[in-house]
Amino acid sequence: METNSYFYLLDLQTMLPFLKNKCFALDLGNNNTLLTDENQVLFSQPSIIAFDEGSGSVQAIGEEAFTIFEKNHSLLKTVKPLQWGVIADYNSASLMLNKIVKQVHHHSWFSRFDHIISGVPYYATEVERRALRDVLDQFNSKKRQLMVEPLAAALGMGMNIREPEGKMVVDIGGGITEIVIISLSDVVVFKSVKVAGNTFTMDIQDHFRRNHNLSIGWKTAEQIKIQAGAATHLIESPPAPAIAKGKDIMEGIPSTRTVSHSEIAFALDKSIKAIEDSIIQTLEVCPPELAADIYQNGIHLTGGGALLQGMKERLQKSIQLEIHLDSAPLLAVSKGISSVLREPKKYQAVLLD
């Protein structure tokens, strides 16, 4: 009798997909949110939400909200719920995730989640982790777990984190850079610095304001960074100069300036130096046996900020170790969490409640 009803349920689940057990892996990043299942990316868009100022209702999330950002009128408000990689605005984060999950899973009262795993920055405090857990608990999943992002990034880059061998991962995200040395499925040495992709963008805005009397928007600065940005002026095939469109501070009228990659490299120098110093400080406190492994294996570089042209070459020169640049730095953390979702028993040691 019991066996029959079990098969009946299985059969029903095949016919009616909304009855299937569901799970998801989440990388709630400072700039980008990625939601995956065990195998594929289901959502990858900017971490931003737009509200109607009057009613407080959600008008848009992700890409759609990002197009409104900096171009909104007074009745629309855009919010980036994360700052420095952790939840800064609980309600906005909760609503944004609710909309994302509904969009992806067509979540309704009879669908339920079996397992949710979310990344969390290693440096996040217990209070910040609790805020993330509370945001996730709205989905009433049977199991809800966290894992630290640098370990997820290492798995996402295909590294074997379980062996007794020192491995160094540097994740230059949007809000923070996390530097870790991993051995035996755990973090042995760690350093986090609040300098990452967003700092580079702000440096570019600052540079134009100070040196060109030009005020440029966030999106323009991002575009310049991606098109013509560089970590060093010494790069093999330099990108073409970019044209910055903004507002002349003195005249108060729209204006443009042309900028080369070496000028951007100059503007970003101080921030990149801060990342270099943090890597060196992490190596300095590394136990000798693990240091020997890192000398042998080099440093694994990931996160969107690592895509800045010449970053690998600059770090290689200043740190004098081999730098391995991830082939898909924007995906490493979500790929890692997704692989844990696929084989939770194998990776039990990295999962946190």
Residues that bind Mg ion (CB under 5 A): 29, 173
Residue 175 as a binder of ligand ATP (CB under 6 A): the answer is yes
Residue 176 as a binder of ligand ATP (CB under 6 A): the answer is yes
Residue 308 interface partner, choices ligand ATP, Mg ion, none, CB cut-off 5-8 Å depending on type: ligand ATP
Residue 117 interface partner, choices Mg ion, ligand ATP, none, CB cut-off 5-8 Å depending on type: none
Nearer to Mg ion, 79 or 169 (CB): 169
Nearer to ligand ATP, 34 or 290 (CB): 34
> What is the dihedral angle through the alpha carbons of 224, 227, 233, 236, rounded to the nearest 10 degrees?
180
User: Cβ 298 to ligand ATP, closest distance in Å?
Assistant: 20
The separation between CA 181 and the C-alpha centre of its own chain, rounded to angstroms, equals 19
Give kind and range of the element (H or E) at residue 60.
Answer: strand 58-61
Total number of residues that touch ligand ATP (CB under 6 A): 22
Q: Which two tokens stand for residue 301?
A: 């570089």
Within residues 207-246, the interface with ligand ATP by CB under 6 A covers 222, 225-226, 229
Tell me the window of 1-9, 23-31, 90-98, 289-297 that interacts with ligand ATP (CB under 6 A): 23-31
Nearer to ligand ATP, 85 or 156 (CB): 85
Nearer to Mg ion, 173 or 229 (CB): 173
- Out of 29, 81, 166, 246, point to the residue binding ligand ATP (CB under 6 A): 29
User: 336 phi and psi, to 5 degrees?
Assistant: -65, -45
Nearer to ligand ATP, 244 or 290 (CB): 244
Task: Return the SS3 of 89.
Answer: coil
Question: Are 235 and 264 in contact, with CB atoms under 8 Å apart?
Answer: no
DSSP state of 229: -
Q: Whole-angstrom Cα distance, residue 268 to residue 317?
A: 17
Within residues 281-340, the interface with ligand ATP by CB under 6 A covers 303-305, 307-308, 330
Residue 59 interface partner, choices ligand ATP, Mg ion, none, CB cut-off 5-8 Å depending on type: none
The half-sphere exposure of 183 on its side-chain side, counting CA atoms within 13 A, is 16
Q: Which two tokens stand for residue 262?
A: 């070496």
Which DSSP string do the residues of 301-346 spell out, in sequence order?
Answer: EESGGGGSTTHHHHHHHHH-S-EEE-SSTTTHHHHHHHHHHH-TTT
**Pairing of the two strands 323-325 and 299-302:** parallel
Place of tokens 């999330």: 61
Nearer to Mg ion, 150 or 246 (CB): 150
Burial (CB count <10 Å: 0-12, 13-18, 19+), residue 284: exposed
Nearer to ligand ATP, 212 or 261 (CB): 261
User: Cβ 20 to Mg ion, closest distance in Å?
Assistant: 29
Residue 32 as a binder of ligand ATP (CB under 6 A): the answer is yes
Q: Whole-angstrom Cα distance, residue 27 to residue 317?
A: 31
User: Cβ 31 to ligand ATP, closest distance in Å?
Assistant: 3
Binding site for ligand ATP (CB under 6 A): 29-32, 85, 173-176, 196-198, 222, 225-226, 229, 303-305, 307-308, 330
